Every structure is written in structure tokens, then in C-alpha cells.
Amino acid sequence: MFDASTGGFYTLPMPELPEVETVRSAMECHLLGRPITRVRVSTKRLREPLPRAALRSLVGDCFAAARRRAKFLLLDLQSGRTLLVHLGMSGNLLLRPWGTKHDHVGFEFADGGAVAFNDPRRFGLVLVLGEGEEDTCRYLQNLGPEPLSRAFNARYLQAQCQRRKSPIKNLIMDNHTVVGVGNIYASEALFRARIHPATPAAAIDPLRLALLAKEIKKVLRVAIDQGGTTISDYQGSGAGGRFQQRLHVYGRQGEDCRVCDAPIESFYLGGRNTFYCPSCQ
Ligand SMILES: [Zn+2]
């Protein structure tokens, strides 16, 4: 969903998998097949320094495909190179020319169109991968399956949880287990599967784990259909994604559970604010 108030495809803060997928499909609509006539690069450092020469060498090239792996955008070019983009905490791709504060990379196209990578907090990443470099790129190694793929299923999750004492929420948020399940969607899927987030993974009944695998897919699919979630100061507000209207626990501490009326509680788990219903879970 394009949010005119911010000029982006989701509203801040942190993009999770559904938001990245929303940006991916927008890039697929707007970027492909348009020859690049100019590339602007800032001197600021993101998570890594911007590869200025490699980015500028994309003039004359043309985006040919927009893919996603975990929360990485892989924008393939006709030349065989790939633009690797991670939105970090606050990054966004905006359909407008370069020139605003916090713009770090800008592309202009032959037909007058433009796209800018804007990132106030600079935890994002923009790299150019040469042909074949994707297989050795350190960011793309050792990643678990995509949550919406067939490889992520009940049997897989049950196997991952065997003999694992770590809290189930930490396990499903670990990219080695499954990619792209962030704090919002982990909290929501655990609520829907009626599992307390701190339960040791190995202690959970296999049937409940099967339900959890199903609920993870379901919350992500619904969020993608809704254009992602917008959270502002832990309260759903503003334009952008509409998934926040469906949140059961995330950001709702002190509010009534939509199922049993008990107040939603929160605590820190693995350094992340974690929301749950003490009665349902
Ligand atoms: Zn409840």
C-alpha cells in the first residue's frame, strides 16, 4: 500500500516481513524495465559504507526482477548484478527524486521516474552483488526456510524444537529456525496458538506446535494482504498498513484481551518487549 503522507509503502517504525513484501511488490510494479540514467549516493555510512563506484556503475543498466529473501530485497539487474537492500530499522524506498534529508541512494530513470532510499537511523544496507555473488554473500548464508514456503511446516518446527530449552518465542524469531518472524508476528502467532511466549520449546505438545506453524503462516499472510502493520508509539494509528486493527496482544498491555477480557500483560524476553494474555496463554 502506498502511503501518500510519508511517500512510502509503509509507515515507520521497523519494517517486518509483510512490510518488506509490500515494498517488494511495489518495486516490481514501478522499477522494472526502466533504464537507469543517474545514480546519486550520499557520503553517510549505513550499516556498511555505501559502495559508491558500484552504485554509480548501474547507470545504463535496468532492473529486471524484484525478489525477497528473509527481510532482504534482491533487485536483479539486466546485467546479472543484484542490488541488495535491507530496510534496517527505518529504511524505505520512496517513489520520488533524491533530495530530502536522510536520502542515501537515488535512482533516476529515462522516463523521468525516480526512486530514493531514505533511512533516518541508518541501520539499513544497500550493496551491489556481482553475478554469482549471491551464493557467497554473508548476509544470505545460513538462513532458515521462508515462513510461507512448504519447507516450513509442522514436522519441521517439531524437529527444530526437540531438546531445545530456549523460549519458543526466541526460537521462532531466530533466523536460523525460520526467517522473517519478527516481534509483532511472533507475539500474535503465539497468542493464536495459545502458547505462553516463555515456554521452553521442547516442552510444547507436537500438536500445538503444528498449530503454531499454521498460525505463523496465517498472521503473515493476513498482514501481507493488509499491506503490513503500522505501529506508532506502541499504539496502532495513522495510515499505512491496516493489520494493526487485527492485533490481539502486540502493543496492547493493560487493554482487555479480545477473547477473554483479561488484561494483556507484557515483559522483556530476549531483550524484546513481549505481549501475551495471562489467561489465554
Ligand atoms: Zn485472553
User: How far, in whole angstroms, is CA 196 from its chain's centroid?
Assistant: 24
> Which entry of 16, 21, 134, 188 is annotated as an active-site residue?
16
pLDDT value of residue 254? 96
278 included as an active-site residue:
no
User: Mind listing the pLDDT tens digit for each residue in 78-118?
Assistant: 999 999 999 998 899 999 999 999 999 999 999 999 999 99
Rounded to the nearest whole angstrom, what is the distance from the C-alpha of residue 262 to the centroid of ligand 1? 6
Strands 63-69 and 92-94: unpaired
Spacing, Cα 230 to ligand 1 middle (Å): 23
Residues in the chain: 281
15, 147, 167, 197: the catalytic one is 15
Query: Strand pairing of 92-94 and 272-276?
Result: unpaired
CA distance 243 to 120: 24
Output the pTM of the full model.
0.86
Q: How far is the CA of 153 from the centre of ligand 1 (A)?
A: 26
Mark whether 134 is an active-site residue.
Answer: no
Structural domains in the chain? 17-140 (3.20.190.10), 154-276 (1.10.8.50)
User: Which pLDDT does position 11 carry in this prediction?
Assistant: 52
